[in-house]
Structure 1
Amino acid sequence: MSFLGGGVLEWVYALALLVLGFVLVLLEIFVIPGLNIFGIVGFLTAVAGVGYAYANMGGMAAAAVAGLGLVGTAVMVRLMLKVRAWDRLVLTNDMTREAGYDSAKPGREDLLGQKGEALSTLRPAGRAQFGEQMVDVVSEGGYIERGEQIEVLKVVGNKVVVHLVGATD
């Protein structure tokens, strides 16, 4: 392509596409995470830089641009780890019970032995009402129709197990 000024300017265009691709990927990671558009366009731009080098300067030039891209990627990852930028991208907290994370709702043991009404059909899971409380429950005996009277048999973590009133164990 003589209108691009010969071989030197073709290298500049290929490397400019590669650098622009890296800038867009970095923009995706640090400035606008989650949108994915800049990351995808950045990746495609970097690949276009390699493709441009291959189409206009041959396979060796494309390999050189791709090699520079790999080195650039390694340098970016190394810098991210060194400046602790990776810590902003990765959740490192442990979600333990001691730290206050608990999926079980405390205080359900007060439902033991209480009688209530099935608000939905229990197949085997559904909703029930005990006094003023609406609770997610699981039936021990299987299918229970809506409106039936039920009783809490046991509470295991956040699982409330019920059966029909008058049903034998």
Structure 2
Amino acid sequence: MIWEITIIVFLMLVAIVLILLEIFLLPGITIAGVGGFLFAASGVIYAYTVGETAGHITLFLSLTAFAASFVWLLRARSFNKVALKTDVDSKLTSSRDLGIEPGDEGITLSRLAPIGKARIKGITVEAKSMDELIDENTPVEVLRVDGYNVLVKRKEQTDIHA
């Protein structure tokens, strides 16, 4: 009888530890959560094979121990050392707010396939080509400014020797 109790207690303690690790430390559904569920199910099933009373007691005590551990961990604030506390206070500036307007000219800093970087009026922005791929260091002209997108086309080269 002592051997069965030892097995049940071991299974349930491992289950509680794994489930608490899953909740507090490991993001998403990981092996710890699945393992914790399997250990808990195994412990309860094994307890019911020992006897109905043992199964009821195991189920009640394990749920109580899990709830108590969960509440204690929340109140102990033991995870404040690993919790993310950084506030993001930056904001994205619209291309319109930078003073970029249709007709402005610039040069691509990276290949626009169809999106890449361009420098327009000395400002590096994310540019989008309308139809074609535009290589790096190609002169471009702004067609339209939509919020954060600057739509550009390859600048037409004029032949002055004609």
Give secondary structure in 1 for the equivalent of 2:13.
Answer: helix
Q: How far off is 1:115 after superposition? A: 1.1
Over 3 Å counting, the alpha-carbon distance change for 1:93 and 1:128 in structure 2 is closer
Match of 1:19 among 13, 16, 21: 13
Provide the C-alpha distance between the structure 1 equivalents of 2:71 and 2:123, rounded to a whole number of angstroms: 54
Tell me the distance in 2 between the aligned counterparts of 1:120 and 1:49: 59
In 1, Cα distance between equivalents of 2:21 and 2:150:
51
Aligned partner of 1:151 among 137, 142, 152: 142
- The percent of aligned pairs where both chains have the same amino acid is 23
| TM-score, normalisation: structure 2 | 0.62
Structure 1 residue matching 2:127: 3-state secondary structure: strand
Structure 2 alignment gaps of length 5 or more: 157-162
Structure 2 Cα separation of the partners of residues 45 and 127 of structure 1: 51
Runs of 5+ in structure 1 lacking a partner? 1-6
C-alpha distance in 1 between matches for 2:146 and 2:128: 10
- 1:55 matched to 2:45: no
CA distance in structure 2 between the partners assigned to 1:162 and 1:62 by the alignment: 68
Q: 1:93 to 1:120 in 2, by over 3 A?
A: closer
1:3 corresponds to which residue? none
Higher helix share: 1
1:53 CA displacement: 0.5
Q: How far 1:102 moved relative to its partner? A: 2.7
Pair 1:52–1:104, CA change in 2 (3 A)? farther
1:64 to 57, 61, 82: 57
User: Structure 1 residues 29 and 162 mapped into 2: Cα distance closer, same or farther (>3 Å)?
Assistant: closer
User: What is the CA–CA distance in structure 1 between the aligned matches of 2:75 and 2:141, rounded to whole Å?
Assistant: 60
- Return the offset for 1:76: 1.0
- Give the match's secondary structure for 2:132: coil
Query: Which of 74, 91, 100 pairs up with 1:81?
Result: 74
Q: Quick check: 1:21–1:45 contact (8 Å CA) kept in 2? A: yes
State the Cα distance separating 1:129 from its structure 2 match.
3.2
- For residue 85 of structure 1, give the secondary structure of its aligned residue in structure 2: coil
CA positional deviation for 1:27: 5.4
- CA distance in 1 between counterparts of 2:104 and 2:64 reads 67
User: In structure 2, which of residues 151, 157, 162 is the aligned counterpart of residue 162 of structure 1?
Assistant: 151
Contact 1:138 1:162 in 2 (8 A): yes
Structure 1 position 74, deviation (Å): 0.9
The structure 2 residue matched to 1:127, chosen from 116, 119, 129, is 116
- Structure 1 residue 18: Cα displacement: 0.8
TM-score scaled to structure 1, two decimals?
0.60
Compared with structure 1, are the counterparts of its residues 150 and 89 closer, same or farther at alpha carbon in structure 2 (3 Å cutoff)?
A: same
Aligned residues: 146
